[in-house]
Amino acid sequence: MKKRKILIIFLLSLFTTFIIYKIFSKDRTNILLIGDNSINSLTNKNYSYYLKKDIKINDVNEIFTSDYKNYRDIENNIKNNYYIYFKSKKIYLNQEINNNKIIIFSANNDEYLLKCKKSNSVLKNYNKKIYDSVVNIIKLVNRISTAKIIIIGNYCSEYNKEISDYLNNLYKDYNYINMYELYNKYFNNNMEYHLYKAIINRI
């Protein structure tokens, strides 16, 4: 009789745990990162590290990030339904786009740094080219998925208000994170954590 009571209590606790898990897990978010991870890999505690620690986040998928990725690559990859082999399994980019609630794009980072010593007119022209690619990518993603899209902007290590304001105006209709502003405010105060917070505020 005693063993039976213990078994019933055990089964009830398992059932309760399962119900609690289902209630909370359905509201947790899957995030897909696409683009350039060369700058983010400079620190172990980058924004994806903090996202993975967040209780509201179920999974952060980074398998479609790689060094020196640019938006032209991403656009072509989506058009061609690019795939990779991960843990001996064929994973298609467009399927992952469809399976995630949030998609975060970050690309052209190293390429952008090479433009930082150029004039503002050169930077604006280059930013406009990036913007055009981003808009094309958003249109492609919207055909596949209803996911929310967040764009992490490019920046130079020296704050440039004219370019920062230009980018805010350019991306005013999108979920855009202005990295000039974040870098200017938080470079010496855990900038990656504040980038994570900026992402969470847009989810």
Domain limits of the chain?
A: 29-202
**CA–CA gap between residue 28 and residue 152 (Å, rounded):** 22
> Taking residues 4-29, what's their average pLDDT?
58
In the predicted model, is pLDDT for residue 75 greater than 50?
A: yes
Ramachandran class of 167: left when φ > 0, alpha when ψ lies in -120 to 50, beta otherwise: alpha
Confidence of residue 28 (pLDDT cuts 50, 70, 90): confident
> Taking residues 63-84, what's their average pLDDT?
93
Domain 29-202 classification at class level: alpha beta
Q: What is the structure's pLDDT at 175? A: 97
> Taking residues 65-89, what's their average pLDDT?
92
pTM across the whole model: 0.84
Over residues 117-166, the pLDDT tens digits come to 999 999 999 999 999 999 999 999 999 999 999 999 999 989 999 999 99
Q: What is the structure's pLDDT at 62? A: 92
**CA–CA gap between residue 3 and residue 13 (Å, rounded):** 15
Q: What is the structure's pLDDT at 156? A: 94
Is 171 in contact with 131 (CB distance < 8 Å)? yes
Q: What is the mean pLDDT of the chain?
A: 88
Written as six digits, the tokens of 159 are: 């704050």
Q: What is the structure's pLDDT at 21? A: 45
Q: What is the structure's pLDDT at 66? A: 87
